[in-house]
Amino acid sequence: MDGALIHMDSYRLGESAEAAMLEADTLGIDDLLDTEHAVLIIEWAERLR
């Protein structure tokens, strides 16, 4: 089985949740979430709420 481990550290994204989500969008988070056969580990995920 082929797969990928994807790590995203959201600590340095925008100060507010809205700013952090906008920055995450520019990094292609939607594409990462749609990646098949992958595990996405997000540090500081609470910043993306």
* DSSP letters for 1-49: ---EEEEEE-TTS-SSHHHHHHHHHHTTHHHHHT-TTEEEEEETGGGG-
Percent over 90 (pLDDT), the chain = 0
* Residue ranges covered by each domain of the chain: 4-48
Q: How confident is the model at residue 23 (pLDDT cuts 50, 70, 90)?
A: confident
pLDDT in tens, 7-20: 888 888 887 878 88
The pTM for the full model equals 0.61
